[in-house]
Amino acid sequence: MELRRDFELLPEDRQFLEDYGLPWETVIDGSQWVLVHQFPSQHEGYNHATVTIAIRLETGYPNTELNMVYVYPALARKDKRAIGATNAQQNIAGQTYQRWSRHRTAQNPWKVGQDGIGTHIFLIEDWFAREFEK
Distance CA 43, CA 79 (A): 12
pLDDT for residue 1: 77
Answering whether pTM is above 0.75, one says yes
- Residue 5 is given by DSSP the state B
Choice between 105 and 40, residue whose per-residue pLDDT is larger? 40
Element (H, E) at 36: strand 31-40
H-state helical runs in 21-116: none
Q: Is the pLDDT reported for residue 134 higher than 90? A: no
Q: Is 113 buried (19+), middle (13-18) or exposed (0-12) by CB count in 10 A?
A: exposed
Element (H, E) at 69: strand 69-72
Kindly state the helix (H) or strand (E) to which residue 40 belongs, with its residue range.
strand 31-40
Kindly report, residue by residue over 1-38, the tens digit of the pLDDT: 799 999 999 999 999 999 999 999 999 999 999 999 99
pLDDT digits (tens, 9 = 90+) for 37-95: 999 999 999 999 999 999 999 999 999 999 999 999 999 999 999 999 999 999 999 99
Specify the pLDDT at position 36.
98
